[in-house]
Amino acid sequence: MTENERDGEDIYGEAHKEANEPIFSGIPSFLKLPEVDRDALDEEDVDVGILGAPLDTATTIRPGTRYGPRAVRAASTVPSPPYEHFNIETGVDPFDHFSVADTGDATVSPGDTRGSQLNIEDAVAEISEQATPVVIGGDHSISYPDIKGWAEANGYEDIGLIHFDCHADTGDDGLTGFEYDHGAWVKRVYDEGIMAGENYTLIGPRGFWPGPDTYRDMRDAGMKWYTADDVAAMDLSEIVADAVRRATDGTDAVWISFDVDVMEPAYAPGTGEPEPGGLIPREAIYMVRECVKELDPEAFGFDVVEVSPAYDTSDTNSYNGGITSGLANRLIIEVLGSMALAAQGKESGEPITPKEPLGVPPEAESPADD
């Protein structure tokens, strides 16, 4: 059996087909996947390491994203089983290709924001030396240490960044004068010299921050953005193609960062800075899915941030996550699926489709349709 023909049973053993415990039982690791210490990923032959970064002391308005990793993990226990996630739309199951493990959370001290960020950087670096990192935030300040740890561990000197967000996060000193807050992380990455403006694309900004001077600076640096109105008006595949083109032009690797406040808050209310007029789930899922398919899974990283479950709705009393944490969970699985396609050099999987073509066949049309 070739690598492309294997399935989850080859990776996860007999557990792949065993009955799973009820979703309300057991320890809710991500998708109830195996828990592996970060220093043992290579030994355990893990391809993708999930990391929680429960930091929210760099946020500026509504706190609570410290509970984001826990909420996304809880949401991920539905649906089960953990080792089978065949996507009916794309026809791919990432667990037929990758061994994925939950590596727990980075060490966070609520009284030491910068120290916590450095701990996150170290944790991501440790994962990145052995596997592809997927990080669950936490406020968006974690993306700077995520990217810095990932890049340094792999020796990346030039990276591309595709950024889904309501806000540019390119402020010199963030929103309140703290250079490491969640509104300044892109500028910190840029200042590191590992990302050129021409390799950065922002998708989904809207509203009133940052102001015109910051956007002029972004324009002068060669950065590009597609507002939420642009997303609604344009062909999504054109936006994806341009973002991928820019991110991969002369770079060593690409990071995708997804802030859930890019979404219309009716679909993702559980976040610290909701802003009306955002993306709908189908737009977001499609663009993330299509971007990742075009990238090298061996030179890639992803984070999803700003899930704040205290403001979420739906199912909050049964500890299985709300609709925002459910969206974050779905995005991670979509990322894994597109990575699996990219690793096999495929544009699509093998979805199960009806025998009869979609739509009304000509012979079934009524005379009134003539």
Question: Per the annotation, does 173 bind a ligand?
Answer: no
Question: Per the annotation, does 7 bind a ligand?
Answer: no
Contact indicator for 264, 276 with CB cutoff of 8 Å: yes
Contact indicator for 328, 50 with CB cutoff of 8 Å: no
Question: Per the annotation, does 169 bind a ligand?
Answer: yes
Three state DSSP letters for the chain: CCHHHCCHHHHHHHHHCCCCCCCCCCCCCHHHCCECCHHHCCCCCCCEEEEEECCCCCCCCCCCHHHHHHHHHHHHCCCCCCCCCCCCCCCCCHHHCCCEEEEEECCCCCCCHHHHHHHHHHHHHHHHCCCEEEEEECCHHHHHHHHHHHHHHHCCCCEEEEEECCCCCCCCCCCCCCCCCCCCHHHHHHHCCCCCHHHEEEECCCCCCCCHHHHHHHHHCCCEEECHHHHHHCCHHHHHHHHHHHHHCCCCEEEEEEEHHHECCCCCCCCCCCCCCCECHHHHHHHHHHHHHCCCCCCEEEEEECCCHHHCCCCCCCCCCCHHHHHHHHHHHHHHHHHHHHHCCCCCCCCCCCCCCCCCCHHHCCHHHC
Task: Say which residues have a Cβ less than 8 Å from residue 193's Cβ, sequence separation at least 6.
Answer: none
Nearest residue to 59 via CA among 310, 258, 305, 265: 305
Question: Per the annotation, does 167 bind a ligand?
Answer: yes
Question: Per the annotation, does 252 bind a ligand?
Answer: no
Question: Per the annotation, does 261 bind a ligand?
Answer: yes
* Residue positions forming the annotated binding site for Mn(2+): 140, 165, 167, 169, 259, 261
* Residue positions forming the annotated binding site: 140, 165, 167, 169, 259, 261
